[in-house]
Amino acid sequence: MAIGKGHHLHLIDGSGFIFRAFHALPPLTRKSDSLPVGAVSGFCNMLFKMLEGNTGHDAPTHLAVIFDHSAKTFRNDIYPQYKAHRPPMPEDLRPQIPLTREATRAFGICCIEQEGWEADDLIATFAVQARDAGARVTIISSDKDLMQLVGGGVEMMDGMKNVTIGPEEVEAKFGVGPDRVVDVQALAGDSVDNIPGAPGIGIKTAALLINEYGDVESLLARAEEIKQPKRRQSLIDNAEQIRISKRLVTLEQHVPVEVGIDAMEVQPLDPETVLPFLAEMEFRTITNRVAEKLGAKAPTIDDTPANAPAMDEPDMPPIDPSKYEIVRDAEALQIWIDRIHERGYVAVDTETTGLDEMRADLVGICLSVEPGQACYIPLAHVNGTGDLLGGAERSEGQMDFDRALQMLKPVLEDPAILKILQNAKYDIKIFARLNVTVAPIDDTMLISYAQHAGLHGHGMDALSERYLDHKPIPIKELIGAGKKQITFDQVKIDDAAPYAAEDADITLRLWTALKPGLIPSRTTTVYETMERPLVPVLVQMERHGIKVDRDHLSRMSNSFAQKMAGLEHEIHELAGRKFNVGSPKQLGEILFDEMAIEGGKKGKTGAYGTGADILETLAALGHDLPARVLDWRQVSKLKSTYTDALQEHIHPETGRVHTSYSIAGANTGRLASTDPNLQNIPVRTEEGRRIREAFIAEEGNVLVSLDYSQIELRILAHIAEIDSLKQAFRDGLDIHAMTASEMFGVPLDEMTPDVRRQAKAINFGVIYGISAFGLANNLRIPREDAKAFIDRYFERFPGIQKYMDDTKAFAKEHKRVETLFGRRIHTPEIASSGPRAGFAYRAAINAPIQGTAADIIRRAMIRVPAAMQAAKLPGRMLLQVHDELLFEVPRDAADDLIGTVREVMEQAHLPAVALDVPLVVDGGTGANWAQAH
């Protein structure tokens, strides 16, 4: 049947896809012969997803994969240098190219390439033919060169991210609609494809010109009218080059194609061809999935290395949630406990009524001792939702809660049995509230984090999809979402069991997949000395919490509310009408349209910027409204985020606030604090500091704060080997004043606060991967001045330049950097081009410094409990704020505590790393956090 209305053609940019898959996916090799197959695997997964219609789009009725043909094209005749700068294909990718063609045929999909034409031209031709016949077209590619085809029933989709690219996305990228994309490309050129364009004109400027003049020819005809001399000259001088560029970027829509679209009609998968191919590639998971879908038997895969003895590896059956056992009585549980003792380890996962481990109740426990073998032990399921007067009735077929716990406690506490968990801190806290101490443990989240920080997230879903090629059952399918959401105890046991047990199964599989990687990646020490031992320490801190004075917060809230009302009234008067002060959009319109204040700048979303820096500039020019808005915003922030929200977080039973630290959240090794975030409690303004007064000690106790002084700059001095800086730290000098003196030649005793402030900004800038632009912005000085500062800084402290260059080179080569303690932080984006690479470079420069500081305080925290015990110190560690630790301790023990903990903190780097600079810790004591700090 001929293609037409109601049909949907998918055109896959084959070369583009495998190139991206190669760079985005971990380097997978075929087990039997180490043939690299990562990109092929990604390609097969994408094909299968597409055929299933599992992409957020409907399934295609017609489908083809289009490849580039390696021979030259008409573009080389027009412009011999076309794509001349392409780097050679990576060695590991080369053998995968023919395999992707094979894969396409194995899936029964039309595979197209044609001599003399790029894939893009063929895609253009087919897309236009299908569109004109009335069919829908989706191009699977993220190549910007194809964006000119979008519109009128043609859309694009990013095959890796499943993101749709329509006319709006094209406009966002090029500043013009799809029909004018080639004109913008012709002007802006493209360094990757070596399209010359007009020198001095980038995408932004090009879009501006095209929007005003229409297209390249009209623009060139009226080039004389352009005001900016540089632009005008560039257009006049390069007119021919621009015309050539346009021909290069314009896709040929009328290639005399050798294959018709009707031949692309989707055929049912043939098990006889697709399964043998997948098995030959040794893609276990997708082989099983495809076999299951076809109702065929999956072929056995022999991936024994050809010239190595058969390995005694645990067999990994496919994940099948219908096979898990539900444990309903003591006899069944005892069998599992026996198996655990036999094995010596067990994967454990808990199901609870919520995400807040201080309030959620245990509903069930899952165990797994072997991939594919897992059980669910329901303990507190109920029928229905209950009512206001009483709880719902307990479901049938569950073990007695206490009896189960009584049986499991010895196993969970057995020092000879390893408990394997994903995000162990959560489950440990749940068990701790039931008086069960879980130890020893392994945590798959942290095993992943130690090896792969910066490469991907470390949640179970992400890890499972990446390393097991399996998407876990979404919890939403059981408990729903939004208003109608129920808690896990209300889920029927038969529904809950497959979901719950699957998590234990997955955790165990992740452990077998990830743990062996620690040794070759040299991250065992990081995991064993800085990740895993931190878990029990954080459990103690989080469970203990910090006392917060609700009345103090409540009083502040009221006073803030009054203040806001007053400011709001003033602001409305100044604006001449009422509007929502909290809406940046409305504020921008008031300021820059209605009041017609100069200097309004619209960002990429088309809204005016109204950030604090912009409003400050306006306020300094004498405008009252922005000044009042700044005041209002400050008060509003303090009220909503701190005085109001913090009260909600006071635990009804403990009367304290219990934050939760994420150990694997920040790429650099820092912790992050959530629910609530206690690492960003105000301190910089007087008014904000009063919120710290609400953090108090229990009667008879005090709060003690100990913080590292200038730890990141000290680490910089050490890593970059800057002698003068190191000496200054040894001499205990004011480091910013010393920097200023060194740079500007001002003697220390004549130092002015302003000169010191500038030097301080530069010191921090260096840690952040300095740029003239950034420093200029920060100091509000011209960029040339900032550039001069930086040059002088590099001159005075030559080690810095070397450190930055060495770090960049290392990052570029290895796609990662390291801390002094061996923590790896990956920076994969360093391989990209454009602004993303810039971000990656600055992050790479910052990460070893921020990360080493994070390592040091982690080591200190891990040592503190034992040190306090040895010194027989009462009191507790409560909070960590990156370079500060906060304790609560009986008043008369405060001085001893400071002595003991300071010692631990100042020596925390030893014996692993010797520093050329001393670490210095300042301490303070007080009835509340404001006083202690």
- The torsion angle over the Cα atoms of residues 670, 674, 676 and 679, rounded to 10 degrees, is 10
Cα(619)–Cα(597) distance, integer angstroms: 11
Contact 140, 45 (CB under 8 A): no
Cβ contact 141:160 at 8 Å: no
Distance CA 165, CA 182 (A): 17
Nearer to DNA by Cβ, of 473 and 672: the residue is 672
Check if the beta carbon of residue 375 is closer than 8 Å to that of residue 404: no
Q: How far is the CB of 850 from DNA (least distance, A)?
A: 6
Residue 176 CB burial class (10 angstroms; 0-12, 13-18, ≥19): buried
- Encoding tokens for residue 400? 């007695």
CA distance 569 to 397: 63
In this complex, which beta carbon is closest to DNA, that of residue 291 or of residue 664?
A: 664
Q: How far is CA 84 from the centre of its chain?
A: 35
Give residue 480's region: left, alpha or beta (phi > 0; psi -120 to 50): left
Contact 384, 366 (CB under 8 A): no
Shortest Å distance, C-beta 617 to DNA: 12
Question: Locate tokens 């005399």: which residue?
Answer: 256
- Strand ranges inside 237-354, DSSP E: 325-326, 345-352
The dihedral through the CA atoms of 195, 200, 204, 209 has a sign that is negative
Distance in Å, CB of 675 to DNA, minimum: 5
Nearer CB in complex with DNA: 677/724 = 677
Name the minimum Å distance from CB 105 to DNA. 36
CB 226 within 8 A of CB 235: yes
Q: Considering the complex, state which of residue 201 and residue 363 has its C-beta at the smaller distance from DNA.
A: 201
Task: Name the minimum Å distance from CB 840 to DNA.
Answer: 8
Contact 349, 503 (CB under 8 A): yes
53 with 156: CB under 8 angstroms?
no
Minimum CB separation from DNA for residue 405, in Å? Answer: 31
Instruction: Give the nearest distance from C-beta 884 to DNA in angstroms.
Output: 6
List of residues 6+ apart from 358 with CB closer than 8 A:
429, 433, 542, 543, 545, 651, 654, 658
Specify the amino acid at residue 315: D
Which residue, 130 or 195, is less far from DNA as judged by CB?
Answer: 195
Minimum Å gap between C-beta 611 and DNA is 4
Q: How far is the CB of 795 from DNA (least distance, A)?
A: 17
CA atoms of 7 and 132, how far apart (whole Å): 12
Residue 484: CB minimum distance to DNA, A: 15
CB of residue 637 to DNA, shortest distance in Å: 4
Distance CA 11, CA 699 (A): 71
Nearer to DNA, 3 or 201 (CB): 201
Task: Tell me the closest approach of the beta carbon of residue 86 to DNA, in angstroms.
Answer: 16
Q: Quick one: 186 or 319, whose CB is closer to DNA?
A: 186
Q: Which residues contact 40 (CB under 8 A, 6 or more apart)?
A: 18, 96, 99, 100, 103, 281
Taking the least distance from each CB to DNA, the nearer of 372 and 609 is 609
Indicate the residue among 112 and 663 with the shorter CB distance to DNA.
Answer: 663
CB of 396 to DNA, least distance (A): 36
Measured from the CB of residue 171, what is the shortest distance to DNA in angstroms? 14
Q: Which is nearer to DNA, 222 or 773 (CB)?
A: 773
478, amino acid identity: L
34 or 228: whose CB is closer to DNA?
228
Instruction: For DNA, give the closer residue by CB, 455 or 881.
Output: 881
CA distance 703 to 468: 47
Contacts of residue 226, Cβ cutoff 8 Å, sequence gap at least 6: 209, 232, 235
Count of beta carbons in the 10 Å neighbourhood of residue 580: 10
Is 57 or 787 the residue whose CB approaches DNA more closely?
787
Please identify, using beta-carbon distances, which residue of 535 and 711 lies nearer to DNA. 711
